Amino acid sequence: MAGNSFGNIFKLTTFGESHGIAIGGVIDGCPSGLKVDFQAIQNELNRRKPGQSEIVTQRKEPDTVEFLSGIFEGVTTGTPIGFVIKNTNQKSKDYSHIKDVYRPSHADYTYEEKYGIRDYRGGGRSSARETACRVVAGALAKQIISDIKINAYTSSVGDIFLERPYQDLDFSKIESNIVRCPDAEVADEMINRIKDVRKAGDTIGGTVTCALQNVPVGLGEPVFDKLHAELGKAMLSINAVKGFEYGSGFCGAKMMGSEHNDLFNEDGSTKTNLSGGIQGGISNGMDIYFRVAFKPVATVIQKQNTLDKFGNIVEMQGKGRHDPCVVPRAIPIVEAMAALVLADFYLLNKIYN
Amino acid sequence: MAGNSFGNIFKLTTFGESHGIAIGGVIDGCPSGLKVDFQAIQNELNRRKPGQSEIVTQRKEPDTVEFLSGIFEGVTTGTPIGFVIKNTNQKSKDYSHIKDVYRPSHADYTYEEKYGIRDYRGGGRSSARETACRVVAGALAKQIISDIKINAYTSSVGDIFLERPYQDLDFSKIESNIVRCPDAEVADEMINRIKDVRKAGDTIGGTVTCALQNVPVGLGEPVFDKLHAELGKAMLSINAVKGFEYGSGFCGAKMMGSEHNDLFNEDGSTKTNLSGGIQGGISNGMDIYFRVAFKPVATVIQKQNTLDKFGNIVEMQGKGRHDPCVVPRAIPIVEAMAALVLADFYLLNKIYN
Amino acid sequence: MAGNSFGNIFKLTTFGESHGIAIGGVIDGCPSGLKVDFQAIQNELNRRKPGQSEIVTQRKEPDTVEFLSGIFEGVTTGTPIGFVIKNTNQKSKDYSHIKDVYRPSHADYTYEEKYGIRDYRGGGRSSARETACRVVAGALAKQIISDIKINAYTSSVGDIFLERPYQDLDFSKIESNIVRCPDAEVADEMINRIKDVRKAGDTIGGTVTCALQNVPVGLGEPVFDKLHAELGKAMLSINAVKGFEYGSGFCGAKMMGSEHNDLFNEDGSTKTNLSGGIQGGISNGMDIYFRVAFKPVATVIQKQNTLDKFGNIVEMQGKGRHDPCVVPRAIPIVEAMAALVLADFYLLNKIYN
Amino acid sequence: MAGNSFGNIFKLTTFGESHGIAIGGVIDGCPSGLKVDFQAIQNELNRRKPGQSEIVTQRKEPDTVEFLSGIFEGVTTGTPIGFVIKNTNQKSKDYSHIKDVYRPSHADYTYEEKYGIRDYRGGGRSSARETACRVVAGALAKQIISDIKINAYTSSVGDIFLERPYQDLDFSKIESNIVRCPDAEVADEMINRIKDVRKAGDTIGGTVTCALQNVPVGLGEPVFDKLHAELGKAMLSINAVKGFEYGSGFCGAKMMGSEHNDLFNEDGSTKTNLSGGIQGGISNGMDIYFRVAFKPVATVIQKQNTLDKFGNIVEMQGKGRHDPCVVPRAIPIVEAMAALVLADFYLLNKIYN
């Protein structure tokens, strides 16, 4: 109810604040008998971690996950998997300047209003640091649905767009540059833009596109828990996300039915795929693809007026080591959340087969 | 788990197929002591019902809701509210031509693959007829959160856009035309476009914009159940929806942090509202606004090739009485789903106050 | 949350008051492809219905269930199964004498205090009439787990006990007498006792024993959702139940470990079965058996002092047509709740196999 | 779904095996602003911990809880409270003798059958060590409902019964002896019996009685989630529990309605309390009391035949440091589970007030 769990069958519950002792989580419902690839999990964490390149925050945190339960001699036992990631880089003093201040477009004000108290250090619970736990669980989920290919990449930074559709891209190139755009030329533009933005003490938004391939037919529950509705919720629950569209998306709203309909082949596949691999909330075996919009990071290294908890407008100077653009580090998070949704529906669907 | 329930505290479970005996639902968790405005509920159903104007399907169904429980002498008792809407216009023979055929971009194929059986009459459970139950529950939810103003309207049909922002519109004009666009001139254009589309036996997509005003601060649960994540899921669960964005949305992804940040006033309100009334997943008291993309209806009154269940490509001719554009009838559905989300979070929030 | 749903995968939600228009429910998560045996469902309702014999309430209600959805041409479709049972015998005027009075040991007082309002007619929502909906869902659940044999019977009425253990009984005799005790001699004693009690305008308690045979190994989720914990909750949720024990039960608490342990046979079965077929919350393939205690019905046809809503002690004379002993009619309810628990765990377990 | 969570609003999820790195949990939904009494939590853990007296297991484990999140400067923040208890006394080698053997009346066989794998060390997840996490959460729950008095005590060991009703006891004496029976004389008998049992290498069962006093009227949700149904489930989920009864319990099943009914006083209280403080599943303000049956511990220090995983009957000699009787250490666990149920319903009830 309090919103810290995700999934029904494969269920993740997370806890932890940015500058507390540790963040962590519990994965309940992981099937037994899975030989865990720990390195694959750590690799995903490394894709998300701070300090990995010159265009992300320069905080240094190893983000090493420690599993406490549910895995015996390297194999899952069917019991809950508890894990922690210690917070090793807690420069709490960094944040004394925001103790009594609500940073614009952050969650400081709403947390304080809702709870009457907040752990102001680094944003506390509202920090995107929480997403490291999602990456851990998502990396495990990927191992359950290992036949499904999940690939996310940066499709825009500001007004620099990768115009080519996902089908034309070589996903093996995603990790070949620090902005995680599979087109080298566009990637360079994006990287330069982010560097410029950083130099200006500013931040910039962007979009992530994600393709889910080789998804079995039949995933998703119709009516309220449609596959794309859960994917949408999953993505919108990521910090800084402002929009989600799948298949034809907002463009589809401009189209006519006669051009939008996906005609069938004899094997049940479709000639086009404006539906985005989902019909009536259920996967149809075609590629699922969607796009996620991220706003620019709210922390800018510029003077801004803001409100303190005593009702005064005060001037504050952003500092700390923040991301000029979240999108490169959001790639593994988008993939993790997609994996959580798919693994959950995949397991649920086994009931009926 | 099977996806026919929505909400946690104020929880709607729906049932029913398009051409079965009845559709209906159970609302569990409605507080006791609410004097029910039955007329208001029926009015919302009337806004959704078929046959209401010349630009929607010409099926005639009264869509009269009958409450079976949970209301005693006009007042809610705190026990579950069961209700049914009889299916009076079940021309099942209309559908014999699709018995063995999967209509393109419908849910026929995915239901058959998932369940091994489907009620093919009128789309069965996948029919948007189910949304009438959402409108009933949403109309009741509105009565619980009666201080909140919920207004949705048609903001585009095909490439005809209402360009003015919601703040510049007079919401009292929404019901003054059959397309439910509060700008009379744009409405006329939209209506004419829909009439042309219908004449061509085709269909067209569109978007709905919705504004939630006077929302108390503090609604929404951070991390996975952010207020906008639940709104997004709610909207994406509506038939034909392909996208959701709130606040600055996809445009926000092109912006810089220095221009996107909403600076505070002394009373905690903000000078701008690119955040869309939500920060960190929690309402901040500013207007919440979002936009929903609807694809064109898949049933076109044209010949199309399609697949039958025996693996043959066959020609089919769409018939029946379908909507050339769902958007006008989707307005009350969008509002209902928004009301369900808000009422649920509103009640949940009472625990902590 | 408001307590009107039961189960996770195979989920029943019920609604309805004793003297409203109808009671009913929604079964969500029933697998598709099940050919429904409607007669079997009605038979179970008939075992529960009023007026079936001279030792139960003489109210006459046909208790005919009408299915509204989820079943197409006699086969389940995987979509929610809505159903209603009309209240045909609503003598509401019978209850005007309790409008302002809280009957002793009924739920009148607690409902009024909790909700500030109650439908006083026949106990409203607190009436055991609600259990008819459980019987419908349970009868369907039995069809999903048709290999499991579920047999409940009356094991005591007042101080008349059927002393023989369930293994020594012939379950085919349960329906051979109106008190549903498989030992003809003891049954006669019980029937006579109930007749005497009725004559005296009084009521009497009793116990039900239930055996679940041929349960597959592996049902139940350890820790909080142990198989016996869910069975216990299921039974305790039935009106008038005061206690639950399984296997050795309260007697086991007097024993030594050396005598209580169930030693294994080579095939994994056990030589004794004090465990009651469950170890660590998971079924082990042996018979599950448990006992449920029912208090005497609170409505006695005698003068009693009671409290009215204005704070006065007033004399009331019980009237109406009530059961002198609930146990005979509780048999199908106990079986239904057991079936719901088993079907739910059975389906859940398919995920992991 | 996988059974490692308890509660809806105040929700505990636990993880951890007896001999893994740590056990722990997440408490989600704890209201913000609660000044945590850490010493009170540790005190409850100390009441449960091994080695506390000569009649319990002589294992030594400090059972120190470490909170990782959700508490800032000693006050709850409304965010999830993660905690761990390290396993410091992991003598895993102790358990090599049971690696391939299913101990009688333990969960070894059922875990292996359900999951295909088990952490055999000390019972792994099925160990009662898990209940330490419940005690932590229960101790916190007690602080939320601090007006309610929760007292459990040992009411029988084997056939030694404390015959006096709870009303005649001085609860302040519960902690005055190591068996936690508030009657000194009976306590001595119990202690001696346990010592004898231990000397014989055997174990013995017992019962716990618990009284909940000063419970507000209105807690519990009618129909499936009745207050006593949740209490029953909570108790039955504790290791080794075989039965639960409340109020008149199994004795009530022998009574007549005319003697069982609780007549009202003018203030809504009742002259007797055979109902056990709950009517229709909702608390009525009178004392709630219930009794829980614990079987004898399955590990006896005697030679027993048992089954190995290869299908052979083999002789095994129980060893290790086990409890001759669980009841003394179960007292804080029963209280903790009662506190979890009450806190959850207490918070839920705030919605409707």
What are D177-195's pLDDT values in tens digits?
999 999 999 999 999 999 9
Q: Report the candidate in C79, D68, B158 with the shortest Cα–Cα distance to residue A222.
A: C79
Q: How far apart are CA A56 and CA A179, in angstroms?
A: 9
- At A203-220, the pLDDT tens digits run 999 999 999 999 999 999
Closest to A286 (Cα-Cα) out of A269, A305, A262, A274: A269
Q: Do A261 and B233 touch (CB under 8 A)?
A: no
Please report all neighbours of D, defined by 3+ CB atom pairs within 8 A: A, B, C
Q: Where in chain A does DSSP place strands (E)?
A: 5-6, 11-15, 22-28, 65-67, 71-72, 75-76, 81-86, 101-102, 149-157, 160-161, 206-213, 241-246, 278-279, 282-283, 288-294, 303-308, 313-317
Neighbours of A53 (CB within 10 A): 15
Between chains, do D351 and B222 touch, taking CB under 8 Å as contact?
Answer: no
Amino acid, res. A123: G
Q: How would DSSP label each residue in C194-220?
A: HHHHHHTT--B-EEEEEEEESPPTT-S
Each residue of C65-80: pLDDT tens digit? 999 999 999 999 999 9
Helix (H, G, I), strand (E, B) or coil at A317: strand
Quickly list DSSP for D44-79.
HHHHH-TTSSTTS--------EEE-SSEETTEE-SS
Going by C-beta distance under 8 Å and a sequence separation of 6 or more, which residues neighbour residue B283? A110, B215, B216, B217, B218, B219, B220, B227, B277
Question: Is B105 buried (19+), middle (13-18) or exposed (0-12) by CB count in 10 A?
Answer: buried
The single-letter DSSP state of residue B188 is: H
Q: How confident is the model at residue B320 (pLDDT cuts 50, 70, 90)?
A: low
Per-residue pLDDT averaged across D22-47, rounded? 98
Average pLDDT, stretch D152-172?
97
CB contacts, 8 Å: C222 with chain A: 79
Whether C294 and chain D come into contact, CB under 8 Å, resolves to: yes
Q: Report the half-sphere exposure of C276 (CA within 13 A, side-chain side).
A: 27
pLDDT at A320 (0 to 100)? 67
Q: Mean pLDDT over residues D284-307, rounded? A: 95
Q: Which of D13, D351, D353 has the highest number of chain B CBs within 10 A, making it the mutation to test binding with B?
A: D351
- The secondary structure of chain A in percent helix, strand, coil, rounded to multiples of 5, reads 35, 25, 45
Q: CA-to-CA distance for D194 and A31, rounded, in angstroms?
A: 41
Res B94 pLDDT > 70: no
C-alpha D103/C-alpha A268 separation (Å) is: 53
Q: What is the pLDDT of residue D98?
A: 81
pLDDT-derived band of residue C93, with 50, 70 and 90 as boundaries?
Answer: low
pLDDT of residue C61: 83
A125 interaction partners in chain D (CB closer than 8 Å): 69, 77, 79
Query: Is the pLDDT score of B236 beyond 80?
Result: yes
Average predicted confidence (pLDDT) for chain C: 95
Interface membership of D274 toward B (CB under 8 Å): no
How far is it, in rounded angstroms, from Cα C187 to Cα C193? 10
Q: What is the mean pLDDT of residues B320-338?
A: 93
Q: How far apart are CA C66 and CA C45, in angstroms?
A: 12
pLDDT at residue C89 is higher than 60: yes
A259-294 as b/e, with b when 16 or more CB fall inside 10 Å?
ebbbebeeebebeebbbbbbbbbbbbbbbbbbbbbb
Taking only the tens place, the pLDDT of each residue in B27-53 is 999 999 999 999 999 999 999 999 899
3-state SS assignment for residue D104 = coil
CA A276 – CA A167 distance, rounded (Å): 12
Give the highest mean pLDDT range of C229-243, D54-68, D93-107, D113-127.
C229-243
Amino acid in the structure at residue A29: G
Asked if the interface predicted TM-score (ipTM) of this complex is over 0.90, the answer is yes
CA distance linking residue A17 with residue A126, whole number of Å: 8
Give the tens place of pLDDT for each residue, D205-255: 999 999 999 999 999 999 999 999 999 999 999 999 999 999 999 999 999
Residue D260: both structure tokens together: 């069982």
Partner residue facing B347 (CB), from D1, D31, D351: D351
Name the nearest CA neighbour of C48 among C141, C142, C144, C152: C152
pLDDT reported for residue B211: 98
Within its chain, how far is the Cα of A105 from the centroid?
A: 19
Write the CB contacts of D199 (distance below 8 Å, at least 6 apart in sequence).
none
What's the rounded Cα separation, in Å, for the pair C123 and B271?
55
Residues of B within 8 A of C113 (CB-CB) are none
Instruction: Give B251-310 as a 3 state SS string.
Output: HHCCCEHHHHCCCECCCCCECCCCCCCEECCEECCCCEEEEEEECCCCCCCCEEEEEECC
For residue B17, CA distances in Å to B4, B5, B97, C12, D214 come to 12, 15, 18, 18, 49
Q: Higher-confidence residue: A51 or B288?
A: B288
User: According to the model, what pLDDT value does residue C319 have?
Assistant: 73
Residue A90's pLDDT band, with cuts at 50, 70 and 90, is low
- Nearest CB among D11, D15, D32 relative to A1 is that of D11
> What pLDDT shows up at residue B318?
74
Taken as a whole, chain D contains a residue count of: 353
Continuous segment of H or E residues that includes residue C154 = strand C149-157
- Chain B residues in contact with C17 (beta carbon < 8 A): 69-70, 72, 77, 79
| pLDDT over threshold 60, residue D92 | no
Q: Which of B242, B283, B333 to mutate to probe the A interface, most A CBs <10 Å?
A: B242
* Cα distances (Å, whole numbers) of residue A129 to A15, A86, A243: 11, 11, 21
**Strands of the D313-317 sheet, one edge to the other:** D101-102, D303-308, D313-317
Q: Tell me what percent of the residues of chain C surpass a pLDDT of 70.
A: 98
Order of all β-strands in the sheet with B313-317 = B101-102, B303-308, B313-317
Which residues share a beta bridge with B256? A204
The per-residue pLDDT for B1 is 83
Return the pLDDT at D169. 98
Helices (H) and strands (E) in chain D, counts: 8, 17
Q: Is D236's CB within 8 Å of C244's CB? A: yes
Q: Is pLDDT of D17 > 90?
A: yes
Q: Is the pLDDT of residue A95 over 90?
A: no
Which pLDDT score, from 0 to 100, does residue D95 have?
A: 73
CB within 8 Å of chain A, chain B residues 184-223: 197, 202-207, 217-218, 220-223
Q: Would you call B250 and A257 a contact, using CB atoms and an 8 Å cutoff? A: no
Burial status of residue D10 (CB atoms within 10 A of its CB: 0-12, 13-18, 19 or more): buried
Check residue B343 and give its pLDDT: 98
With contact defined as beta carbons under 8 Å apart, do A146 and A216 qualify?
no
- Kindly give, in sequence order, each residue whose CB lies less than 8 Å from that of residue A163, ignoring residues fewer than 6 positions away: none
| C1, C78, C351 member nearest A350 (Cβ) | C351
Q: Cα separations (Å) of D159 from A255, C251, D55, D155, D249?
A: 80, 10, 17, 10, 19
Identity of the residue numbered C3:
G
The answer to whether residue A129 scores a pLDDT higher than 70 is yes
Residue A38, pLDDT score: 98
**Is a pLDDT exceeding 70 seen at residue C213?**
yes
Task: Centre a 10 Å sphere on the Cβ of residue B265 and count the other Cβ atoms it contains.
Answer: 11
> Pick from C119, C56, C52: which is nearest to C92 by CA?
C119
Please write the tens of the pLDDT for every residue from B261-275: 999 999 999 999 999
- The answer to pTM > 0.95 is yes
CA C268 – CA D149 distance, rounded (Å): 45
Type of residue numbered D235: M
> Please, which residues have CB within 8 angstroms of residue B103's CB and are 6 or more apart in sequence?
B298, B299, B306, B316, B318
Tens digit of each residue's pLDDT (9 = 90 or more) over A244-258:
999 999 999 999 999
> Are the beta carbons of C325 and C197 closer than 8 angstroms?
yes
Q: Which amino acid, residue B254?
A: K
Check residue B198 and give its pLDDT: 95
pLDDT band of residue D122 (cuts 50, 70, 90) is confident
Residue type, C127: S
Q: Which residues of chain A make contact with D68, given a CB cutoff of 8 A?
A: 15-16, 20-24, 84
Lowest mean pLDDT among A38-47, A97-106, A125-134, B217-226: A97-106
Q: Is B34 on the interface with D (CB under 8 A)?
A: no
pLDDT, mean of residues C211-215: 98
Establish how many alpha carbons lie within 13 A of residue A225's alpha carbon, considering only the half-sphere containing its beta carbon: 25
Q: Is it the case that residue C316 has pLDDT exceeding 80? A: yes
Task: Compute the distance between CA of residue C328 and CA of residue D119 in angstroms, rounded to an integer.
Answer: 46
Mean pLDDT of chain D: 95
- Terminal C-alpha separation, chain B: 30
Interacting residues of B54 by C-beta distance below 8 A, sequence separation 6+: B178, B195
pLDDT value for A59: 82
Would the pLDDT of D277 be above 70? yes
In this predicted model, what pLDDT tens digit does every residue of B1-30 receive, in sequence order?
899 999 999 999 999 999 999 999 999 999
Question: pLDDT confidence of A92, banded at 50, 70, 90?
Answer: low
